[in-house]
Amino acid sequence: MFVITGALKNYEWGSAEGLRPWTQGPSPLAELWFGVHPSAPSPLVDSSDTLDQYLALEQAPILVKLLSAAKPLSVQVHPSKQLAEYGFHELNRQEASLGAFADSNEKVEMLYALENFDAFAGWRPQRETAAVLAALAELHTDFNRYMKLDFSQMAHVASSLTDLGALIALIPAAARNAGLPKLDCAAYSTVAAEYPNDPGAILALYLRVVRLARGESIFVPAGIPHSYIRGTGLEVMTSSDNVLRLGLTPKPVFIDLALQALDFSDSTPNPRDAPFSIQVQGPSDPDITADTGSYRVILCLEGTASVRVLSSKPASELTPGQAAILIASEPDAQIATTGSVAVITAMTNRMSTIE
């Protein structure tokens, strides 16, 4: 068993205080990574070593993050395993897509809300998208010629729309005039305020808005368009950093690659289909046993957590922001907490997307 802390990532969309229970550092605090991904391998507690010096990707197939967003992340999609492999080994060498793929693995993820969490995820019903695009055209007549474009067509022309800034400023009013719910209107007001000249604001009109209450989760397989809007959550994913962006970001966008990766079906992914599980335990809950045979991450969120591998003495004590890592071959572990602890388990029979 290894005890680690999170590797801090500072992105401009991060919050000033959302990660303070688990780390210190200069704002904005965006993500804490718990895993072996080469972009940010986790430090071992009381050591200068990192987890990737001891475990290979095959032994640690999932990446856990604490994430806190103060404003929307990019409109993005994650590639399938097939596209990730081809992209990393072949497309990354081409000038038009240089460096687009961070690794050769499929990225699927689940977001577990630690507070109310708003996101764009999946496709808005076509009749609603048509209504808001028509409402936008009523407010800005130059948009008439574009109001019937599908997402792929709009992705190619959005950056060249006439008077883009003025058009984006009208999005909140168009959302209200189209009769969208208050939650949706608030999301589009946020996008327009934070990204007043970004064509991704137009693309966001095609996406469904969801609000997760504390303890709820959303599963995002490869191919599902999404953008986290605001909130703090626990994010679990296959150990990949493959992100193909379409907008709402100062980072490079790869429109054609992202469109190639998108799943245009209107199905709603079920969290039970994820290749990992998340269980959050409070002090009044029965102790959890994290069974052998799977890779496990035990992350202390509040108070303290005690992790005891059944074949050994004594237990390891975790404080907030520390995690115990057990590989599949290690024995069962018993977990107790004075506050709350998340137990994340890789579902070995579903991990075929990882090399």
Written in H, E and C, the secondary structure of the chain is: CEEEECEEECCCCEECCCCCCCCCCCCCECEEEECCCCCCCCEECCCCCEHHHCCCCCCCCEEEEEEEECCCCCEEECCCHHHHHHHHHCHHHCHHHCCCCCCCCCCCEEEEECCCEEEEEEECCHHHHHHHHHHHHHHCHHHHHHCCCCHHHHHHHHHHCCCHHHHHHCHHHHHHHCCCCHHHHHHHHHHHHHCCCCCHHHHHHHEEEEEECCCCEEEECCCCCEEEEEEEEEEEEECCCCCEEEECCCCCCCHHHHHHHCCCCCCCCCHHHCCEEEEEECCCCCCEEECCCCCEEEEEEECCEEEEECCCCCCEEECCCEEEEECCCCCCEEEEECCEEEEEEECHHHCCCCC
Which residues span the domain enclosing 285?
Answer: 276-350
**238 and 169 both lie in a single domain:** yes
d(CA 132, CA 334): 52
Phi, psi of 136 (to 5 degrees): -65, -40
Residue 336's nearest CA partner among 306, 300, 308 is 306
C-alpha 290/C-alpha 308 separation (Å) is 10
Judge whether 255 lies within some domain.
yes
Do 110 and 255 lie in one domain? The reply is: yes
**Cβ contact 237:107 at 8 Å:** yes
Q: Which of 81, 64, 23 is nearest to 344 (CA)?
A: 64
Mind listing the pLDDT tens digit for each residue in 151-163? Answer: 999 999 999 998 9
Claim to verify: residue 289 and residue 151 sit in the same structural domain: no
Does 104 share its domain with 199?
yes
- 243 and 99 in a common domain: yes
Q: How many domains does the chain have?
A: 2
CATH of the domain at 130: 2.60.120
Q: Considering the entire predicted model, what is its pTM?
A: 0.94
Q: Are 213 and 292 contained in the same domain?
A: no
Same domain membership, residue 308 and residue 167: no
Contact 143, 136 (CB under 8 A): yes
Contacts of residue 218, defined as CB under 8 A and 6 or more positions apart, other chains included, come to 110, 111, 119, 121, 210, 212, 269, 271
pLDDT given for residue 312 in this prediction: 72
107 and 196 inside one domain: yes
In a domain, 317, yes or no: yes
Asked if the structure places residue 245 within a domain, the reply is: yes
Asked if residue 10 is part of any domain, the answer here is: no
Q: What are phi and psi of 316, to 5 degrees?
A: -90, 135
Residue 124 in any domain: the answer is yes
Among residues 274, 292, 327, which one ends one of the domains?
Answer: 274
Q: Would you give per-residue pLDDT tens digits along the chain (355 residues)?
A: 999 999 999 999 999 999 999 998 888 999 999 999 999 999 999 999 999 999 999 999 999 999 999 999 999 999 999 999 999 999 999 999 999 999 999 999 999 999 999 999 999 999 999 999 999 999 999 999 999 999 999 999 999 998 999 999 999 999 999 999 999 999 999 999 999 999 999 999 999 999 999 999 999 999 999 999 999 999 999 999 999 999 999 999 999 999 999 999 988 888 888 999 999 999 888 888 999 999 999 999 999 999 999 877 789 999 999 999 999 999 999 999 999 999 999 987 556 544 4
Q: Is residue 64 part of a domain?
A: no
Same domain, 175 and 296: no
In this prediction, residue 352 carries a pLDDT of 53
Asked whether 167 and 132 are in contact (CB, 8 A), the reply is no
Calpha distance 31→10 (Å, rounded):
7
CATH number for the domain harbouring residue 308: 2.60.120.10
Residue 26 lies in a domain: no
Region of 99 (left: φ > 0; alpha: ψ -120 to 50; beta: rest) is left
Neighbour tally for 183: CB within 10 Å: 12
Q: Of the residues 274, 298, 317, which one is the last residue of a structural domain?
A: 274
**199 shares its domain with 210:** yes
Residue entry with tokens 């245009």? 264
Assess if residue 6 is contained within a domain.
no
The per-residue pLDDT for 243 is 97
Residues 158 and 212 in one domain: yes
Residues 112 and 249 in one domain: yes
User: Which of 274, 302, 329 is the last residue before a domain boundary?
Assistant: 274
